[in-house]
Amino acid sequence: MIQSVDRAIRVLTALQGARRMSLSELSTRLELAPSTTHGIVRTLVEHGMVVQERGSSRYQLGPAVLRLGNVYLDTLELRSKTIPWAEDLARRTGLAVRTGVLLIDDVVIIHHEPRPDGSRQMPEVGIVIPVHASALGKAMLAFLPEDEKRVLTSGGLRSMTGETLTVAEELREQLDDVRVSGIAVEQDEAVLGESALASPVFDSSGEAVGAIGVVIQSGGDLAHHEARDVVRETARALSRELGAAAWPPRPAG
């Protein structure tokens, strides 16, 4: 591992999620000397990856990060194939639709289709959700044995709300259910008042490359929600378009 690259990535990671931090805060977070942190941040500023907030001593992610993110999204076959299916799923259910991919222990939203009711909604592309607190994440983990094992044996599932699953055995039971039903459930686990249903998406290799699902206002019975079958149908059709021979192609080992 190249130390300077690793430290630069850690700075960018610390600033994700619209965070604004001073050099001293970054130094403390990363456990680096202030002079070292200053040198890394200065280099990132020169490349537009980080900018100093106007009128303050705090730093935030810069426009170059967005440019790289857009390039990444443009190269994803999953995202390009998802768009028409997400539009159809939103129209059929009246709900917002998210498509996500796994990034280590998180889910990154690569496409967001707003509710088709014309209401004002925040764009969600690029948001990050802990994999264990997300229906999208559970849908993928159930069919990715190595990632499932890593998450379940990590020794600490971060709590986002009072409803987040933080006990590995409870999460394992949910993943077992996903393997049977093909659909994952999230109830107030990442954000209070927000629930979700999601199903995994596979490519021609039979690998779970992402997941697609709907966002639902909490309070209903997700076990019998009318969107369940539509979400599964959409994931199956999208997987077929990506070359998957069957859905799901095989149980996790």
Q: Domain with 14 in it: what CATH number?
A: 1.10.10.10
Q: Are 80 and 99 within 8 A, CB to CB?
A: no
Q: Are 242 and 201 in contact (CB under 8 A)?
A: yes
- Give 2: exposed, middle or buried? Use CB within 10 Å, 0-12, 13-18, 19+: exposed
176 and 51 part of one domain: no
Instruction: Quote the domain boundaries for residue 25.
Output: 3-64
C-alpha distance across the termini of the chain, in Å = 31
- Does one domain contain both 144 and 43? no
- Give the tens place of pLDDT for each residue, 153-184: 887 788 889 888 888 899 999 999 999 999 99
Question: Please, are residues 101 and 77 in contact by the beta-carbon 8 Å criterion?
Answer: no
Same domain, residue pair 178 and 87? yes
From edge to edge, which strands make up the β-sheet containing 21-22? 21-22, 58-61, 50-52
Among residues 64, 84, 105, which one ends one of the domains?
64
Determine the number of helices (DSSP H) and then strands (DSSP E) in the chain: 9, 9
Whether 225 and 107 have beta carbons less than 8 Å apart is answered as: no
User: Is residue 215 in a domain?
Assistant: yes
Question: Do 218 and 98 belong together in one domain?
Answer: yes
Pairwise CA distance, residues 101 & 79, whole Å: 10
Task: Decide: 223 and 205 in contact? Cβ < 8 Å.
Answer: no
- Using DSSP, state whether 22 is helix, strand or coil: strand
210 and 130 in one domain?
A: yes
Domain check: are 41 and 82 in the same one? no
Note whether 21 and 108 are same-domain residues: no
Residue 74 reports pLDDT greater than 60: no
Give tens-digit pLDDT for 237-250: 999 999 998 888 65
Pick the residue with more confidence: 127 or 64?
127
* Same domain assignment for residues 172 and 205: yes
Residue 63 has pLDDT above 80, yes or no: no
Q: For residue 21, is it within any domain? A: yes
Q: Is there a single domain that holds both residue 52 and residue 93?
A: no
Whether 110 and 54 share a structural domain: no
What would the mean pLDDT of 148-152 be, rounded to a whole number?
A: 91
27 in a structural domain: yes
Cα 113 from Cα 95, distance rounded (Å): 9
- Calculate what percentage of the chain has a pLDDT beyond 90: 40
Q: Tokens at residue 195, please?
A: 């629930």
User: What CATH number is given to the structural domain containing 197?
Assistant: 3.30.450.40
Distance CA 167, CA 19 (A): 29
**Residue 119 domain flag:** yes
Give a yes or no: residue 71 inside a domain: no
Confidence of residue 71 (pLDDT cuts 50, 70, 90): low
Residues 151 and 111 in one domain: yes
**Residues ≥6 apart with Cβ < 8 Å to 149:** none
In a domain, 251, yes or no: no
Tell me the whole-structure pTM to 2 decimals.
Answer: 0.74
The residue from 22, 43, 64 where one domain ends is 64
Number of domains in the chain: 2
Would 237 be classed as within a structural domain?
A: yes
Task: Convert the pLDDT of each residue in 15-45 to its tens digit.
Answer: 876 578 898 999 998 888 889 999 999 898 8
Boundary (domain end) residue, out of 64, 90, 106:
64
Q: What is the mean pLDDT of residues 68-80?
A: 68
